[in-house]
Amino acid sequence: MASKKNTGRYAARGVSSGKEEVHAAVDKLDRGLFAGAFCKITEDYLTGSKSRCNVIHSDGSGTKSIIAYLHYRETGDASVFRGISQDSIVMNIDDLLCVGAVGRILISNTVNRNAKNFPGAALAELIAGSEDFLEKLRKLGVKIYSGGGETADVGDLTGAVVVDTCAVAVMPRKGVISGDEIKPNLAIVGLSSSGRASYEDFENSGIGSNGLTSARHDLLCPYYRDEYPETYDSNTDKSLVYCGPYRLDDPLEGSPMTVGEALLSPTRTYAPVVMKIMKKYPGLIRGLVHCSGGGQTKCLRFGRGVHFVKDNLMPVPPIFKAIQKASGTTDREMYEVYNMGHRMEVYCRPSDAKKVVEIAGSFGIEAQVVGHTEKSRKAGGGNTLSIKSGKKILEYGPRS
């Protein structure tokens, strides 16, 4: 069950997909105006308006920046960090989408670097990439702006670079998607994480920005362990450090990409899709879940007394097949760590599912009904999840 202590390769590398210890520390704190929302929502402390509310959210590109660092050290190509800028920004705005924050957004970036290993040329590309991506988003109708940021030289804390973003929005309370409407008898429409959206410049592997600690070590070979010891925790069992079969420039089976290109594929934003749904069909969306930390089990944290049934998932993209083949990771852990094919879920009435699929398709993004919600069968009404994986049914229970 997902509530049990993390086990497996991911936890052995010092990472938690369910973040049980984090939630144990914060879940008893004030949950804000809408306790069941995807992000914490507070009173409008900025203007004092009683009809509006504030949303502030922080996230980043995670250890994906290390893969960019490896590429940079191997090739000298600092432009790779432009994609890392996008990763950090998208991980914030797509979480904000899940509470209906589609108005004006102000962001601030924080870059923690080891100046010896991450010099000015790389930093310049990272900053320029952030500004260019914000401009691209504005052209897509996303009103997002930079409020500056901070670069800290902290060589004692990182051997390479860490990229984080904080996003702030003020929105009408009546426009909040609270999460309370994720109830039984809804369709779950998944929006594909792979392929190429009309607003993307390249094919997307679907990897996003979650699970990259394990993806990096399970796919890349010991060469990187020996050459770049600054990129991993020396306390980790060496059998789990860069223990895969590939170099970055090796081809990825079943894909036109190399392994490196697939791992570095910039995280897709679903903002244009969600904004169009909300504008064309007000009230259609009953809930949104960004399948980020926790992968396909993320939904367990939302709604009450719900049994999530995912029995029609999309084909698994090649990057996840390669990770599982190289590592022998169980199906159970793969679905807890990675999005496995779709990274945004739209919860709606079954009769509205076709509208969601059509709007996603208008942007070149595949979408389909991947499942539905039922009344929880758990004693006490805790949320549960069933995932159909081949001929197996994987069962996940409430998270504590």
CATH code of the domain containing 163 = 3.30.1330.10
Mean pLDDT of the chain: 93
Would you state the pLDDT for residue 1? 38
User: For residue 50, with 0-12 CB atoms within 10 Å meaning exposed, 13-18 middle and 19 or more buried, which class applies?
Assistant: exposed
- pTM to 2 decimal places: 0.92
Do 82 and 45 fall into the same domain? yes
126 shares a domain with 141: yes
Ramachandran assignment for 308, one of left (phi > 0), alpha (psi -120 to 50 degrees), beta (any other):
beta
Give the residue from 102, 96, 366, 181 showing the smallest Cα distance to 356.
366
- Indicate whether 167 and 187 sit together in one domain: no
Task: Give me the pLDDT at residue 318, please.
Answer: 98
pLDDT in tens, 313-370: 999 999 999 999 999 999 999 999 999 999 999 999 999 999 999 999 999 999 999 9
**374 and 271 share a domain?**
yes
Q: Report DSSP letters for 128-181, one per residue.
A: HHHHHHHHHHHHTT--EEEEEEEEEE-TTT-SSEEEEEEEEEEEEGGG---STT
CATH number, domain with residue 279: 3.90.650.10
pLDDT tens-digit map of 25-52: 556 667 799 999 999 999 999 999 999 9
Domain final residue pick, 132, 148, 174:
174
Token pair in block for residue 49 = 């308006």
Residues 202 and 155 in one domain: no
Tens digit of each residue's pLDDT (9 = 90 or more) over 263-322 = 999 999 999 999 999 999 999 999 999 999 999 999 999 999 999 999 999 999 999 999
On whether both 282 and 309 belong to a single domain, the answer is yes
Same domain, 19 and 112: no
| Domain boundary pick from 149, 174, 199 | 174
**Among 27-41, 145-159, 166-180, whose mean pLDDT is lowest?**
27-41
**66 & 206 share domain:** no
Number of domains into which the chain is organized: 2
Which of 14-23, 89-98, 201-210 has the lowest average pLDDT?
14-23
Question: What is the distance in angstroms between the CA of the first residue and the CA of the last residue of the chain?
Answer: 10
Q: How many helices (H) and strands (E) does the chain have?
A: 12, 12
pLDDT at 400 over 50: no
Q: How much of the chain exceeds pLDDT 70, in percent? A: 93
- If asked whether residues 185 and 303 sit together in one domain, one would say yes
Domain that holds residue 68: 39-174
- Among 119, 145, 174, the domain boundary falls at 174
Please tell me whether residues 185 and 311 are part of one structural domain.
yes
147 plus 69 within the same structural domain = yes
Q: Are residues 266 and 374 in the same domain?
A: yes
